Structure 1
Amino acid sequence: MIAWPDSERRVIADYVRDLGMRTELAGTVYLQILGSFQMVAERYAIIDQSTLKAWLSERARYWSPSTMAHAARVVDRFLSYLVGEAVIAANPIDVLRTDYQIRTRCSIWRALATTNPDATLAALRRPKPFGSVLGAMMRDHIALMRNRGYHYTTQAGWCLRFDRHLQAHPDLASQPMEVMLQSWRAARSTHNHAAECERLEGILAKALRHKDPALKIRRPNPKPLQEVARHWRRPHIYSPADVRRMLDLARSYPSPRAPLRPLTIYTMLLLAYCAGLRRSEIARLNLGDVELGACTITIRETKFFKTRILPLSESVMVELVAYIDARRHAGGSQDPGSGLFWHEQVTHRYTPTAVAWLLVDVLRRAELKPRRGKIGPRLHDLRHSMVVNRILEWYQAGINPQDRLPFLATYMGHRDIHSTLVYITVTQDLLQEASERFRVLGAPCLTLTQEGRP
């Protein structure tokens, strides 16, 4: 058990030393930031939001907003460390996140730094999850489906959005469920929202039937889903030249504070295209999942609870070995359970969100996607491109792609080839190769049939 604040500041010194800073200057900056916070904390009996407000107000006179943001992150991690060491009862930021149902920590720090923190925090307050009149029913149904083995993540999101709508309109609490759903349908006019409302209505009908099996089975309305399918965005198929351009840009990605990051992004992009990995699969890869001798990687417990072992080509393995060597020289943990894509922050692992942000930024720098917005090619289109370009190579090598589709489905992590067929986009090159194959193999059969007629 340690005591803090301590007059000799040994707690802060030990904490900064254990972080293993790359440079002495970085450690000095951390000591200055945490020292300024301790000077304020010594004036308070407990560490709560009043302490944070006082520290932010005092430091704002000397530091710029960007410096304040960096210092806030340093203090936030230090407070979490103190909680882990049982020095303080709770991190005030975590308490505020729970009280106000705020998702991000930086939003709370920005609110505390304003002239009226209470009003700013009140404006950020989010409704309590499943706090509406139908909240208990939806929460129980989600728990039931998850106990049966379903992820039920997307469906839970639909229910939460509907729940927030009901809490924002308390007058609906006394209305029938159909009136509540009509109000939710009218909230937005997009095709995706209409399809979500149709699915949500099916979930609620299923939840009601679990409570009363005598209720009639609801007949679904296919029109909203058909409209979404009709307006579905066509995948963008990256050419090998596009992929090469992205890989070149990844190697030169500007990252002066994290020298390993360019090679990390390069390897992520390589696996996303050559192995067709999803961003979540990239983020969950561990060092022990790479078998250098067998030239394979193991993808564990992914979509639909599947685990698969993927063989990689020799060229990909060469790049992967080079990354693992660079990772070791950069000080990355050699524990087989540590993240393959390692960084020096607290978690020592890139999250799926961070993986997506980095790779999408490469797409923007390659001018394949606009600098702003969600329009243009997507990161997930790399999986589509992998499938299309693989089938194109099979055609060019004289291989019948139909015979290889079951293997491709397994490689992609699909349950059957029907899911893989969704990824097959007919491009001009693919259509030309298929036509040429038909000309060589199919056209002579038609000629023989016509000659055999009387």
Structure 2
Amino acid sequence: MTIWPDPERKLIARYIAGLDLRTKNSPIYYRQALNIFQDVAERHAKLDKDMLVAWLHVSPGRWATTTRLHRTRIIDRFLDHLEEIGAIERNPVAALREACNIKQCMPVWRALASSDPDSALAELYQPRPFGSVLGKMMAEHVTLMRNRGYKYTAQAVRLWRLDRFLQLNPELQDQPLEVMLEHWSAAKTTRNHPNECEKLKRVLAKILRHKDPSLPPRRPDPSPEKEVARHWRKPHIYTPADVRRMLDIARSYPSPRAPLRPSSIYTMLLLSYCAGLRRSELARLDLGDVDFQGGTITIRQTKFHKTRILPLPDSVLDELRSYTQARRRAGGSLDPRSGLFWHEQRGDRYTKEAVAWLLVDVIRRAGLKPPRGRTGPRLHDLRHSMVVNRILEWYEAGINPQDRLPFLATYLGHRDINSTLVYITVTQDLLHHANERFRVLGVPCLNIGPEGRA
């Protein structure tokens, strides 16, 4: 039984009183938006899509578009509250979101605010995962592989894309699997799509052989993957001078509202280059992961389910020590489980997206990457540069890099040495040192004596 709208509007008053609003004017804005919403609701028999559209048509005369979208968030949270306390049976926005099979409410509000809400909502519809004729078989395989301990994320995404394509093309549901895959291969013209189709065919062949072991194994086709690899963008190798310039820019990064941020960016960049850390590893670092006594930093459960303890140079430890002191003075939590890179305004750790944006912005400010776009050197190239510059140092010190590559692979968190070999980009300096080493070690072998010639 619904008890809203209530004529005395006590529910609105209680709801606003229970909110932890930051400014004095916020309750006024909330009360205004909710009262207008109830005025429209009282003129409709049901709390449904038509009522929401009517409120949105009333709103443009009062608020700008951006303000109206902000008010929809207020309304959405209020409807969730009414459903939670039993004042209404169902939040109509949540019901529309579930009907469209999407996760966010804002696209629903934008569709309702359009000139044709029904068509806009129809365009929002997303097929449910594994709802096609092959869906049950694919879902069972994903569950089986995950129960065996595999993450099985990329493979599941490929299967879901095919499943979604089949649901949006119901005329293919009764066709043989070969015909389905043929249409899926022709559905996109992107460069990577043939490689994705080849990987999908391998997974489907595995599923079918698991169900029927008498089927012959499928011979993989390596040509699509080779074609994609041929177009890979070559990594940019930052020179030590480039890294020093980026560190100087990070230390002086403009941030008047967050004084700790320049020091945070500087330390992130330092660990990214000196320790070869990924952006996700930087974001997941805890304060307790840094061991100043042992001179190490612990990277926990990252890619390939690995945890590794990395020794750090004394200079990097000194910078980390200075950063943690500045972090403490800025009011950062002293809990060892709190984020090492602490955000002053949010009171929480930086996300991996924020880490990537800040470090890429430093690369742009250093003039190494265009002001906008995805062209130019990447953040991940710092790991490539760390590998190449480390091998150059080994060459200059007279150390055989081949003997040290297994240690470097472990330091970077790779599964094996083959993953590390991908990071070795042949630069002119590296080629010069390799040629010189071959000349010193190989030329004596070519000096054949008279007895050898006889």
Fold similarity call, TM over 0.5: yes
The answer to whether 1:5 aligns with 2:12 is yes
- Any idea what the Cα deviations from partners look like across 1:266-287, whole Å, max 9, x if unmatched? 3322222221112222222222
SS of residue paired to 2:128 = coil
- Counting aligned pairs with the same residue, the percent is 60
The answer to whether the 8 Å contact 1:49/1:92 transfers is: yes
* Residue of structure 1 equivalent to 2:130: 130
The answer to whether the 8 Å contact 2:384/2:424 transfers is: yes
> 1:200: how far off?
0.1
Q: Could you say if the C-alpha distance between residues 402 and 348 of structure 1 is closer, same or farther in structure 2, counting changes exceeding 3 Å?
A: same
- In structure 2, how many angstroms separate the alpha carbons of the residues matched to 1:270 and 1:124? 44
> 1:425: how far off?
0.7
TM alignment of 1:223-238, pairs within 5 A: 223-238=223-238
* Residue of structure 2 equivalent to 1:174: 174
| Bigger Rg over Cα | 2
> 1:336: how far off?
2.5
* Residue of structure 1 equivalent to 2:400: 400
Query: Which stretch shifts more, 230-239 or 195-204?
Result: 230-239
- In structure 2, how many angstroms separate the alpha carbons of the residues matched to 1:260 and 1:296? 23
Q: 1:193 is aligned with what amino acid?
A: H
The answer to whether the 8 Å contact 1:37/1:55 transfers is: no
- In structure 1, how many angstroms separate the alpha carbons of the residues matched to 2:310 and 2:211? 44
* Residue of structure 1 equivalent to 2:23: 27
- In structure 2, how many angstroms separate the alpha carbons of the residues matched to 1:55 and 1:329? 49
Q: Number of aligned pairs?
A: 440
The answer to whether the 8 Å contact 2:34/2:75 transfers is: no
**RMSD over equivalenced CA pairs, Å:** 3.7
Q: Could you say if the C-alpha distance between residues 92 and 317 of structure 1 is closer, same or farther in structure 2, counting changes exceeding 3 Å?
A: farther
* Residue of structure 1 equivalent to 2:145: 145
> 1:416: how far off?
1.6
The answer to whether 1:162 aligns with 2:162 is yes
- In structure 1, how many angstroms separate the alpha carbons of the residues matched to 2:53 and 2:260? 36
- In structure 1, how many angstroms separate the alpha carbons of the residues matched to 2:263 and 2:360? 16
TM alignment of 1:18-97, pairs within 5 A: 27-28=23-24, 30-40=26-36, 61=61, 64-66=64-66, 96-97=96-97
Gaps of 5+ in 2: 1-9
- In structure 2, how many angstroms separate the alpha carbons of the residues matched to 1:306 and 1:269? 22
The answer to whether the 8 Å contact 1:101/1:126 transfers is: yes
The answer to whether 1:315 aligns with 2:315 is yes
SS of residue paired to 2:133 = coil
- In structure 1, how many angstroms separate the alpha carbons of the residues matched to 2:11 and 2:292? 47
Q: Could you say if the C-alpha distance between residues 103 and 372 of structure 1 is closer, same or farther in structure 2, counting changes exceeding 3 Å?
A: farther
- In structure 1, how many angstroms separate the alpha carbons of the residues matched to 2:84 and 2:362? 37
Q: Could you say if the C-alpha distance between residues 140 and 342 of structure 1 is closer, same or farther in structure 2, counting changes exceeding 3 Å?
A: farther
Query: Which stretch shifts more, 402-411 or 245-254?
Result: 245-254
The answer to whether 1:381 aligns with 2:381 is yes
SS of residue paired to 1:6 = helix
- Any idea what the Cα deviations from partners look like across 1:294-313, whole Å, max 9, x if unmatched? 23221111122111111222
The answer to whether the 8 Å contact 2:33/2:71 transfers is: no
The answer to whether the 8 Å contact 1:191/1:224 transfers is: no
> 1:371: how far off?
3.7
Query: Which stretch shifts more, 412-421 or 122-131?
Result: 122-131
The answer to whether the 8 Å contact 1:40/1:51 transfers is: no
* Residue of structure 1 equivalent to 2:6: none
The answer to whether the 8 Å contact 2:296/2:312 transfers is: yes
Q: Could you say if the C-alpha distance between residues 253 and 68 of structure 1 is closer, same or farther in structure 2, counting changes exceeding 3 Å?
A: farther
> 1:146: how far off?
1.0
TM alignment of 1:310-349, pairs within 5 A: 310-343=310-343, 348-349=348-349
- In structure 1, how many angstroms separate the alpha carbons of the residues matched to 2:82 and 2:340? 28
- In structure 1, how many angstroms separate the alpha carbons of the residues matched to 2:274 and 2:381? 13
Q: 2:197 is aligned with what amino acid?
A: C
The answer to whether the 8 Å contact 1:57/1:113 transfers is: yes
> 1:404: how far off?
1.4
TM alignment of 1:249-328, pairs within 5 A: 249-328=249-328
Q: Could you say if the C-alpha distance between residues 353 and 89 of structure 1 is closer, same or farther in structure 2, counting changes exceeding 3 Å?
A: farther
SS of residue paired to 1:325 = helix
Gaps of 5+ in 1: 17-25
Q: Could you say if the C-alpha distance between residues 451 and 213 of structure 1 is closer, same or farther in structure 2, counting changes exceeding 3 Å?
A: same
Q: 2:23 is aligned with what amino acid?
A: G
> 1:383: how far off?
1.3
- In structure 2, how many angstroms separate the alpha carbons of the residues matched to 1:347 and 1:104? 25
The answer to whether the 8 Å contact 1:4/1:11 transfers is: no
- In structure 2, how many angstroms separate the alpha carbons of the residues matched to 1:84 and 1:330? 39
> 1:35: how far off?
4.2
> 1:203: how far off?
0.5
Q: 2:430 is aligned with what amino acid?
A: L
> 1:162: how far off?
1.3
Q: 1:408 is aligned with what amino acid?
A: L
Q: Could you say if the C-alpha distance between residues 180 and 129 of structure 1 is closer, same or farther in structure 2, counting changes exceeding 3 Å?
A: same
Q: Could you say if the C-alpha distance between residues 102 and 431 of structure 1 is closer, same or farther in structure 2, counting changes exceeding 3 Å?
A: same
Query: Which stretch shifts more, 67-76 or 138-147?
Result: 67-76
TM-score, normalised via structure 2 length: 0.82
SS of residue paired to 1:298 = strand
TM alignment of 1:103-122, pairs within 5 A: 106-108=106-108, 110-111=110-111, 113-114=113-114, 116-122=116-122
The answer to whether 1:418 aligns with 2:418 is yes
The answer to whether the 8 Å contact 1:41/1:51 transfers is: no
TM-score, normalised via structure 1 length: 0.82
The answer to whether the 8 Å contact 1:33/1:74 transfers is: no
- In structure 2, how many angstroms separate the alpha carbons of the residues matched to 1:66 and 1:246? 37
The answer to whether the 8 Å contact 2:16/2:27 transfers is: no
Query: Which stretch shifts more, 249-258 or 45-54?
Result: 45-54
The answer to whether the 8 Å contact 1:101/1:127 transfers is: yes
- Any idea what the Cα deviations from partners look like across 1:372-407, whole Å, max 9, x if unmatched? 443332222221111111111222222221221111
- Any idea what the Cα deviations from partners look like across 1:34-86, whole Å, max 9, x if unmatched? 44444456666999888977776666555555555666668878888999999
> 1:223: how far off?
1.7
Q: Could you say if the C-alpha distance between residues 100 and 244 of structure 1 is closer, same or farther in structure 2, counting changes exceeding 3 Å?
A: farther
- Any idea what the Cα deviations from partners look like across 1:207-226, whole Å, max 9, x if unmatched? 11222222221111122122
